[in-house]
């Protein structure tokens, strides 16, 4: 019975609901009802274990933040080494801030400077602030979701547009912020036209690459589509689960980050060390190619939508998620995330659970 299977989960969830809204710090992880594991304890590779001791093949991968797999030895070793060197935060910039910044910018190719923050929401908020300061304008057009901050909600200085084909960009805007793609294949022609329009009007084009970066390509949609924005925001998989995000762009724009985008933990050294190790694995090994290969097999077997690196099962009802979890597979209704740790054997196990 489900009550027996999730005995400890139910007890933990009851306590967590008492002290945290939704028993979670993240909206996409909140309890939505049904017989389902409440909390995870540990992970390795593509496998996680819950508070009841059950093992799961995880296709959620911390909402896409874990790209190489849980407890990747090289990434964790780099974090431990940095921690042993005296701590997490310092009174002056830590050396790794500049070292990793150079490596990241070199890998991305087009930007000249980077500002590190902690979450994707901070990165997109910061990019909007930079655009406003650089242009002296206020109005921003937002296509899609870019975080929980108030500035991303519809208001007097922000126009919310659901789809790119609905965007009618006038003169006088400070910026357009857009996820170039998420679940559907990108319309490269539309992105190219938007790029040209922004250039003609002096509007800052911001790509939200928090999901697409380190997944569709190392450089995200910009690299995949061959369309270069003015500013880009990265997060999620860039540090393989350690808390880190970034705003990147040309020096002429990024200089406006000096007075506007600043945080005590932007230079937190352990996450930067983890990110540096993550980047080196991506550049040395066929991480992206493997994600596409494994994801294509999963997508073909499930006959689902989305992208091979982020398959979307529709409809994905609660009862279906309960039954696949009971068979040891974790899926997410908003989209799955393939990791470098997944294998073809994992695909077969998942297809069997779904059958």
Question: In which band, very low, low, confident or very high, does the pLDDT at 162 lie, cut at 50, 70 and 90?
Answer: low
Tokens of 249: 């762009």
- 133 and 65 belong to one structural domain: no
- 48 and 110 belong to one structural domain: no
Last residue of a domain, one of 265, 284, 303: 284
- 79 and 90 belong to one structural domain: yes
- 46 and 123 belong to one structural domain: no
Ordered DSSP codes for 253-267: HHTTHHHH---TTTT
Q: CA–CA separation, 180 vs 119, rounded Å?
A: 19
- 80 and 63 belong to one structural domain: no
C-alpha distances in Å from residue 238, one per residue of 9, 179, 219, 274, 336: 31, 17, 10, 9, 17
- 188 and 305 belong to one structural domain: no
pLDDT, residue 152, reads 63
Torsional sign, CA 286, 287, 288, 289: positive
Tell me how far apart the terminal alpha carbons of the chain are, to the nearest angstrom.
21
Count structural domains, the chain. Answer: 2
Torsional sign, CA 197, 198, 203, 208: positive
- 297 and 350 belong to one structural domain: yes
- 79 and 203 belong to one structural domain: yes
Question: In which band, very low, low, confident or very high, does the pLDDT at 213 lie, cut at 50, 70 and 90?
Answer: very high
- 155 and 169 belong to one structural domain: yes
Supply the range of the domain harboring residue 291: 2-70+287-354
How would you class 212 by CB atoms within 10 Å of its CB: exposed for 0-12, middle for 13-18, buried for 19 or more? buried
- 44 and 131 belong to one structural domain: no
Paired with 330 in beta bridges are 58
pLDDT, residue 151, reads 64
SS3 at position 81: helix
Paired with 312 in beta bridges are 305
Question: In which band, very low, low, confident or very high, does the pLDDT at 67 lie, cut at 50, 70 and 90?
Answer: very high
pLDDT, residue 335, reads 87
Rg (CA), the chain: 21
pTM: 0.94
Last residue of a domain, one of 266, 284, 302: 284
- Residues 103-148: tens digit of each pLDDT: 999 999 999 999 999 999 999 999 999 999 999 999 999 887 887 8
CATH number of the domain at 204, please. Answer: 3.40.640.10
pLDDT, residue 195, reads 95
Kindly state the percentage of the chain with pLDDT values over 70.
95
- 63 and 163 belong to one structural domain: no
CATH number of the domain at 16, please. Answer: 3.90.1150.10
SS3 at position 68: coil
Last residue of a domain, one of 242, 268, 284: 284
How would you class 281 by CB atoms within 10 Å of its CB: exposed for 0-12, middle for 13-18, buried for 19 or more? middle
Kindly state the percentage of the chain with pLDDT values over 90.
75
Least confident residue range of 272-276, 292-296, 331-335: 331-335
- 86 and 226 belong to one structural domain: yes
Q: Is residue 290 within 8 Å of residue 340, measured between CB atoms?
A: yes
- Residues 18-32: tens digit of each pLDDT: 999 888 888 887 766
Q: Is residue 65 within 8 Å of residue 310, measured between CB atoms?
A: no
């Amino acid at each position: 019975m489900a009550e027996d299977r999730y005995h400890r989960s139910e007890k933990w969830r009851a306590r967590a609901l008492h002290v945290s809204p939704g028993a979670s710090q993240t909206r996409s992880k909140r309890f939505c009802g049904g017989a389902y594991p409440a909390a995870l304890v540990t992970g390795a590779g593509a496998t996680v274990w819950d508070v009841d001791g059950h093992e799961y093949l995880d296709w959620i991968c911390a909402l896409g933040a874990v790209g190489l797999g849980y407890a990747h030895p090289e990434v964790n070793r780099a974090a431990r080494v940095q921690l042993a060197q005296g701590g997490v935060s310092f009174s002056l910039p830590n050396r790794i801030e500049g070292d990793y910044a150079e490596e990241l910018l070199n890998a991305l190719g087009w930007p000249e400077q980077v500002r590190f923050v902690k979450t994707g929401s901070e990165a997109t908020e910061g990019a909007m602030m930079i655009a406003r300061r650089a242009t002296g304008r206020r109005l921003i057009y937002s296509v899609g979701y870019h975080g929980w901050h108030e500035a991303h909600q519809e208001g007097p200085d922000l126009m919310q547009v659901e789809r790119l084909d609905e965007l009618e960009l006038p003169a006088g805007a400070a910026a357009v912020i857009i996820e170039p793609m998420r679940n559907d294949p990108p319309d490269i022609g539309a992105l190219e036209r938007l790029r040209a329009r922004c250039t003609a009007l002096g509007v800052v084009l911001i790509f939200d690459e928090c999901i697409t970066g380190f997944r569709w390509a190392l450089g995200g949609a910009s690299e995949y589509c061959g369309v270069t924005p003015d500013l880009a925001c990265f997060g999620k998989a860039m540090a393989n689960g350690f808390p880190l995000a970034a705003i990147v762009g040309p020096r002429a724009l990024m200089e406006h980050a000096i007075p506007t985008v600043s945080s005590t933990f932007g230079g937190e050294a352990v996450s930067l060390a983890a990110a540096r190790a993550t980047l080196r694995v991506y550049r040395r090994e066929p991480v992206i190619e493997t994600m596409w290969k494994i994801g294509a097999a999963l997508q073909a077997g499930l006959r689902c939508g989305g992208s091979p690196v982020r398959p979307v099962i529709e409809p994905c009802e609660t009862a279906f998620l309960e039954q696949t979890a009971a068979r040891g597979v974790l899926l997410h209704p908003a989209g799955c995330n393939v990791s470098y740790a997944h294998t073809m054997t994992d695909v077969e196990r998942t297809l069997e659970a779904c059958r």
